[in-house]
Structures are given as C-alpha cells and as structure tokens.
Structure 1
Amino acid sequence: NPVAIKQYTAQDFSGQTREEIRKEARIMATVSAQSDYLVRLRGVILDKPNYSLVMEYLPGGDLFHLLKSSQEMTWPMRYRIGLDMTIGLHHLHGRGALHRDLKSLNVLLDMNFRAKLADFGLSTLKTSSASTTAGGFKGTVLWSAPELFKRGAKADRASDIYSLGMILWELVSRQIPFADAATPAIAATWVAQGDQEIVPEGTPEEFKVLILDCWNKDPAKRPQADAVAKRLDTLWQSEQKKTPASPKDLSGIHPGSLKPETPASSPPPRQPQIKKPVTLEPAPPPSSSMLSLSQGRFTIAPAPKPLLKPVDAKTLEQLLQWVAEGEQDKAEALIQKDPNLLRHAGTVKDLSGREFKGITAFQYALWAMDYHMWTMIKKYLPRETQVEQWQALESKGTAHGIHFSLKELTDVLQVYMDNAEKWNYDQRAVDQWCKKVGGAQTRLPAHVVNEYCRSDRPFEPCPTEWESKLPRTREMDVYDSTHSEWVKGSWFIAPSSKDGLGLNYAFARGQRWCLGGGCGARRAASGGAGRVDLKALHSLWKTRTQQLELLRSQLLSVTHQPQTYGSR
C-alpha cells in the first residue's frame, strides 16, 4: 500500500524517550485502525537523523493547500469536510486520546475530498523534536488555544475543540489565522491575550455561532466533538435539501490540478522532501508483539480493518443485482442514496447463473469488463478503496476467474464459420456446433448483451466503445412457437432470436437455432455476416482490455507514489 512520510529533526533520543514514543505509537496505531476518519499510522522510524512517521497515503493532499487554491468551494463541501474531521476528533476523544496539533496542514483529503485527521497523538516525539524541527511551535501557535500559553498548561479536549474552531474558520476565510501579525511571536501574544479572528461576512449564522462556541474563552463551555458533529451534520443536511448535491459538488475538482494562488501569508515552514521513504522491517506475525525491534526501528503490524458502517442487506443485494444485470442507471440511483454500499461485499447470481460470493459492485464490474459501469462507480468510491478492491480481485480472483473472457465464444464461432459450408448437409454437426455457440452466448456478461444485442442498429460497425454511456437493453425479437409469431423477449430467456448482433451472431442459443431464414442462415454464417460479427467481437474486447489496462496503470500510479509532508 502507498505511504506518506513525515520527518522530524531532533537530537538523538534517549532510551526512555524512544520507549515512550513506542508506547504512544502502539496506542495511535490501534486508535487509527478503528476509524475511517483518521489517517492510519503505519510505523515510526527512530534511526538518526530520519525520525519519521510512516502514514497512510491520501492522494488529495492537505486542506491548507486546497484552501489556498483558486478553486471554488461550495457550502456543502465546507460542511462535509468539517463534519469528517470532527467525527475523527470525536473518535480520538472517545478512546481517551488527544490530537494536540490540529491545523489545516494536518487534515488530509482523498480524491473525493473526504477528510481524515493526521499527525495526532505522539506528544513525546513532537515535544522532543519541536525545538529543532523547522518551524516547530511557530507553525502550530496560530491554531493553539489561549489557555495553553499559561505556565504548566496541558492540552485537553477543550483545547482540541478550540483548534477545530480555527480550522472551521479557515474553511470560511481561506486564510491563515492571524496572518496580519508581523511575526509568529506577535501572533502568540495576541492568542495568549484572548484575541480572536473575525468571522467573514456572509457566513451562515449557524456556522458562525458554531465557530464562536468552539472559541469560547471558558474552556468548560466549549462544545464536545460529538455536539459539533451533530450541528455540522444538521447544516450539511439542510444545505442538501436546498440544492441537492451532485457528485460534482464533492468530487468534481481534481486535487492534483489545483493551482495555488499567492497566499497572503506563507504556510508554516516544511522539511525538504524525502526522496525515498525509509523501508520498514516486515511486520511481525499476529501472535507476536505489536512492535518488532530491529536496529533501533520498529514496524506497527498491519491494523485490522475498521468496521464498516452498516448498510441495509436488501439494498446491497439489489445494488449487486443491478450491476450484474448491467442496469447502470438503477445502480447509480441506489449509490447516490448511500455511497457506503460500494464498500460492502455480498453475494450475487448473474443472468448466466454464475454465483459470486464476497464481491463488491466495483469488483463485479471489473470482472465483467464493464467499462461503463466501473467508470460510473469510480465517481462515488474513494481512490484508496478502488485500489484495495482492485488488488483483492487481482490477487484472489473469483470462482469464475479474475476477468471474463470472450475467448470461448470467439473460438467456437470461428470453428463454426470455418466449417459451415461442409456441414451444410450434416445436421448432426450443425446441431452440435449451434449448441456450443449458443451455450457460449448464454454466458456473456449482461452488459455485452445490453449494449450490443440490439435490433435497432447493426453490430458492425461497433458504436464507439469509449462512449461514457450507451443505451442498454436485453430486449430482442423472439419466436413464440405456441402462437407462431414474433414477440418481444429477452436474450437470457429466449431460445431463439430474429436479429440482434448483426445478422446472425445471435442465431443460436442453447440447443436450438433460428434466424427466420432456416438453413440459409447457416450458409450466411460461413460468409461475410458471421465474420463481421467475429471481427466486431474482437474489436470490442480489444478496447475493453485497453480500458482495463488504463485503469490498472492509474491505480498502480497511486500505490507506487509515496507522499511527503512537511514537519510541524
């Protein structure tokens, strides 16, 4: 998995200090593994001079630089980011931990602008390195609660809430706190005296009051994190009702494309980037201690996956069924109501009778080579989760392979066309190969049938396989032998077809074949019509393979790019 490295500069740590850092790391690793709103702590490196945190990588960068960009931010987007980081803080506080260093640089974003808190806890590492770390306390003082400037003061939940309020203010102002101070020392004096920033005009009153409540000069009167989260959720839900947020509202901006404006004040100083992340020792087996020592460094064993938010089982089952049936619009409607459905795996039986167990909607689309479906799903699935699900499919596969292949169908269709002329009067051979071709056709993923089995257009030339969306239907004309007439039917049910993919690609299904032309259809299959269908099948699958390789390269680029963050 990709990682991010955050480096600290300090003199050599004493043995006692190292042990304290190890203890704190154990706690933080456990806490971060239990929340989707906290950046996972992967390890701590204690080799002089590379004192570093090894963390989960988030491709969207940090909130500080998003706020300094020229991109527009909607109120729903602000509320959602604020809600995410507040839930993360609530999870920390609920487990008896503090953040101690809340600021926009420590709020990281995924590709969908969902936020996670980073760089929490580990007070010993921060305290021991603060005096010699570039920026040190200077970068944090602007977000610090005034009571922390008193002699002997200690951070607590209330001081974390104050800092949270400063980030909420940043979401509105898009400025660094106290940017008008000539030096950080002057800003520290202002904060210690209880000076506060002015909430910009135009801020919704409820949001303004919430910020001011977080800044209450009496720490005991500041709200708890869960109360802040409830108020933010109310604001977000209210805004959603006014103007329902489309996926573009939260994910239409690509973090990597943001062009920063010249900020009014520079961000806190940052460490030079680490060219190569320090390699961690292999994690110990589950039965051993959580930390393994090796030449002064240790690795935190892979944390258990956090519990997923529960979803309605029937809704998940319905989503998987829509995806397996290629019903893109219906699937997207369910996802828009609850994107969390995409994180859950379930069991689904497709229209060919194949059963898939423990598969997600994204994974089924990948298995079926359904480019249009997976492109839609990606809009709602965080990039990191895309990578995880893709890797799981590639490594474990399914009971039906890693990806569907057209080879069975193209092989038997090729044999039929090559031999149709000489079989013209060999009914047994014709029936045998019609059965093989028809059987292969019944095992097509629904999306191939839905997109290309259409009587209103020929299969060749193919419509562009790179269209973002194609009309989908499984309807086709079928012969009702009981009433001796052609009626509307479905590819996966009808025993025969009148026309579908080209002239005679759909001529055989199961043990029966029919094209209305009788034996003439068999003769046509050996000529141009059948070969055109075969050519179109190869063209379609060549494109689908290219699209899958493109997706694979995009996801690999995420897993292979470590991200470096500056120091405190």
Structure 2
Amino acid sequence: MSGPRKQPPPSTTLLNLPNDVLQREIGKKLDPQSASHLAQASTGARSIFQSQLSIVKDYVQPLLNHIVKGELTQADQLLQQLQQQDDYLLQQVLNYQGKVTDPSGRTFTGITVLQYALWAYDRFAWETLKPYMNPQDMLDQLNELETTGVDYIYQGQKVQHQHHYDFQPLLDVYESYINYVTSAQVDWTETDRCWVHEVGEKQKGVPWPVAAEYCSSQPFVDQHGQPPAFNQRPQFPKQARGAQIYNYLIDQWQDFFSGDLGVSIAIYKAAARAFGRPRRGGWGARGGALAAFDRAAIAALCETRKSDLAALRNALHAEVAAQYRPR
C-alpha cells in the first residue's frame, strides 16, 4: 500500500533567512546600488539593509547635488570626510548611479557624480573628483558614458543615450539671430522675439559650468577680439552672489536660472559683465555684433572642454597602464 504523498519541504528564499544572517553574511558584501535594487523588490529587504540604503541619503544625494550646482568646495569637503571615515565606502559612493535634477531642469536617472561632470564638460568638477577615484573606475565610467550614454527628462521630453551636453543648438540659435539682425530687411518685433524666446531659452538650458562662464567676471572677448582661454575656474563679480546676471528689467542681480531668462530677457556679455536685456532697444545691428562675440566664446568653450576631456581620457589610459606594468 502506498502511504500519503510526502509534501515537499517549504522553499527557502534569500529573505527567509534570519535577519542577523542576512546582515552579517550578505549585508557587509552588498554595495549600496545592489541594496537599493533589492529594497525596491522587497519591503523586507528595505529594513534589513537600511545601513546601506542610508548611504544614498547621507552621501550620494548630497554629492550629486553639489556637483550639478557647481558647489565644488562643499563636494570636496564631503569627499574628504568620506575618505577619512572609510575609503571603501567612498568608492561605493563614487560608483553609485543615482538620480538628480540639475539647475537647468534636467532630471537624470542612473548617473554617477563623475558621469554628470563628464556629461556637462565640467572640467573643474572632474578635477575635484579625480584625487579620490581609482583611474580604472574613472575610465570605466567614461567608457560607459560614451558608449551607452545617459537618460534624462527635460521640459517633459525624455532624452536617451546622450553622451555629453550638446552645444550646437545654442550655437545655431545665435547664428540665426546674428544673420537676421544684420540682414537688409529686419522686423524688429521678430528680432526681439527671437532674442528672448530662442536665444534666451537655449541659454537657460545650459548646464551649470556653462552658466558659470556666462556669469564670470572674465569677459567673453579680449582687447584683440579673441575669446578667453577658459582655463581658470570662474570667478564672479563682487556685486553678484554666485552665478548671477544683471537684469535690466528689474535693475538688480538675478540667478542665472531664474524665471526671467528665456521669458522676458536673454543674455549679452561680450566685453562686459553678463546682463539680461529684453530687446534690442536702440542698439540695432550692434546687438548682432555683441551676440557674435558671445557665440564665438561659446564655440571656443566647447572646443576647449572637448580637448580637456580628451586629455583626461589619455591621462586615465596612461595611469591604468602604469598600474599593470611589471615592476
């Protein structure tokens, strides 16, 4: 006679293990990124791996916020604190792919602090991060950015697989404005609209390191009609509080990413400080000449930062090769 069928033993899943076992044997080997993914799949895991998840709140998010806002002194202080506390934790934070919204309004997902700096061509940010990072990690993150790219949402539109900030749309609207304002027949109402709503809107869409160059006390053109070298960290006018422009509409300094830019003003700079003007006023074709100086400066900034990035890539390859060279 056959007896009653034996029931199979209850299945054991990872999260059925005792919490102390999970924390002791798995938690110490689980990086914050993996802990975050596990917590999204299970509410039980969220409480078990709370220490790893708190790293995101305590370190990753503040560091991302500092980098996208150009707060490099604060970023460096946080990195020093992490390095003194736990170098392994520091490396986990620097390799964590988080979510952040930059001052231009782009919301990135799955991006590291270094990858944002590289995407934005922020030379001074990646120079801040470099002393704390392994060259191989930096090179891996750069390669991932330039092969897979990053995704973000901007003005309700999803942009996928972008490798770096694209200067070309800003350069194109400058060129269109310059060509129109210096043409034989000009509708000044249309010129004003183009200036504010096309040039101004594209200016407002730049990442912080480009905005900082607009707001810098360094002119966009020297006495010989040439753009600057862009090899120094931007310094702002004494009257300004950080990255600000002078808004003639309200007769005061205003944050670059304010609501007025692209709505009622756009920025001229040339040989002066950055100032927002709502229209050509009595400038006529002179506005086109000033815009031409600014376009040339932005084009020079683009080429300079691309060269800076190429130099970084070459330096990282050399450092990685040196690490594996037999002694």
2:165 counterpart SS class: coil
Which of 156, 163, 182 does residue 421 from structure 1 map onto?
Answer: 182
Matches for 1:542-557 after TM superposition, within 5 Å: 542-557=303-318
2:282 counterpart SS class: helix
Deviation at 1:359, TM superposition (A): 0.8
Q: What residue in structure 2 maps to residue 493 of structure 1?
A: 258
Q: Distance in 2 between matches of 1:320 and 1:385?
A: 17
Which of 102, 123, 146 does residue 371 from structure 1 map onto?
Answer: 123
Q: What residue in structure 1 maps to residue 31 of structure 2?
A: 308
Q: Partner amino acid for 1:476?
A: I
1:325 and 2:69 correspond: yes
Deviation at 1:313, TM superposition (A): 1.5
Q: Distance in 2 between matches of 1:397 and 1:521?
A: 43
Q: Which whole-Å deviations, capped at 9, do the CAs of 1:240-267 have from their partners, x for residues lacking one?
A: xxxxxxxxxxxxxxxxxxxxxxxxxxxx
Of stretches 331-340 and 417-426 in structure 1, the one that deviates more from structure 2 is 417-426
Question: Which of these two proteins has the greater Rg computed from alpha carbons?
Answer: 1
Q: Which whole-Å deviations, capped at 9, do the CAs of 1:515-540 have from their partners, x for residues lacking one?
A: 6xx4334522222x222112211211
1:502 counterpart SS class: coil
Q: Alignment identity in percent?
A: 26
- Alpha carbons of structure 1 residues 312 and 357: separation in structure 2 relative to 1, 3 Å: closer
Q: Which whole-Å deviations, capped at 9, do the CAs of 1:469-489 have from their partners, x for residues lacking one?
A: 332631222245xxxx41221
Deviation at 1:439, TM superposition (A): 1.4
Deviation at 1:380, TM superposition (A): 0.9
Are 1:458 and 1:502, in contact at CA under 8 Å, matched by a contact in 2? yes
Matches for 1:517-556 after TM superposition, within 5 Å: 518-527=280-289, 529-556=290-317
**What is the RMSD of the two structures over their aligned residues, measured on CA atoms?**
3.0
Matches for 1:44-123 after TM superposition, within 5 Å: none
Are 2:215 and 2:273, in contact at CA under 8 Å, matched by a contact in 1? no
1:477 and 2:246 correspond: yes
Matches for 1:233-272 after TM superposition, within 5 Å: none
Q: Partner amino acid for 2:297?
A: A
Matches for 1:176-187 after TM superposition, within 5 Å: none
Matches for 1:158-173 after TM superposition, within 5 Å: none
2:115 counterpart SS class: helix
1:488 counterpart SS class: strand
Deviation at 1:379, TM superposition (A): 1.0
Specify which structure has the higher proportion of helix.
2
Q: Which whole-Å deviations, capped at 9, do the CAs of 1:284-329 have from their partners, x for residues lacking one?
A: xxxxxxxxxxxxxxxxxxxxxx633642414321211111111211
User: Between Structure 1 and Structure 2, how many residues are aligned?
Assistant: 250
Which of 486, 491, 502 does residue 270 from structure 2 map onto?
Answer: 502
Which of 153, 156, 168 does residue 407 from structure 1 map onto?
Answer: 168
Are 2:99 and 2:109, in contact at CA under 8 Å, matched by a contact in 1? yes
Are 1:363 and 1:389, in contact at CA under 8 Å, matched by a contact in 2? yes
Q: What residue in structure 2 maps to residue 385 of structure 1?
A: 137
Deviation at 1:459, TM superposition (A): 1.8
Q: Distance in 1 between matches of 2:202 and 2:119?
A: 17
Q: Partner amino acid for 1:321?
A: N
1:428 counterpart SS class: helix
Q: Distance in 2 between matches of 1:554 and 1:457?
A: 29
Q: Unpaired runs of 5+ in structure 2?
A: 1-23, 33-51, 84-89, 152-158, 237-241
Deviation at 1:432, TM superposition (A): 3.6
Are 1:316 and 1:346, in contact at CA under 8 Å, matched by a contact in 2? yes
Q: Distance in 2 between matches of 1:407 and 1:498?
A: 18
Q: Distance in 2 between matches of 1:506 and 1:494?
A: 16
Q: Partner amino acid for 1:308?
A: D
TM-score by length of 2: 0.67
Q: Partner amino acid for 2:269?
A: L
Are 2:196 and 2:266, in contact at CA under 8 Å, matched by a contact in 1? no
Q: Name which structure has the greater RCO, CA cutoff 8 Å, separation 6+.
A: 1
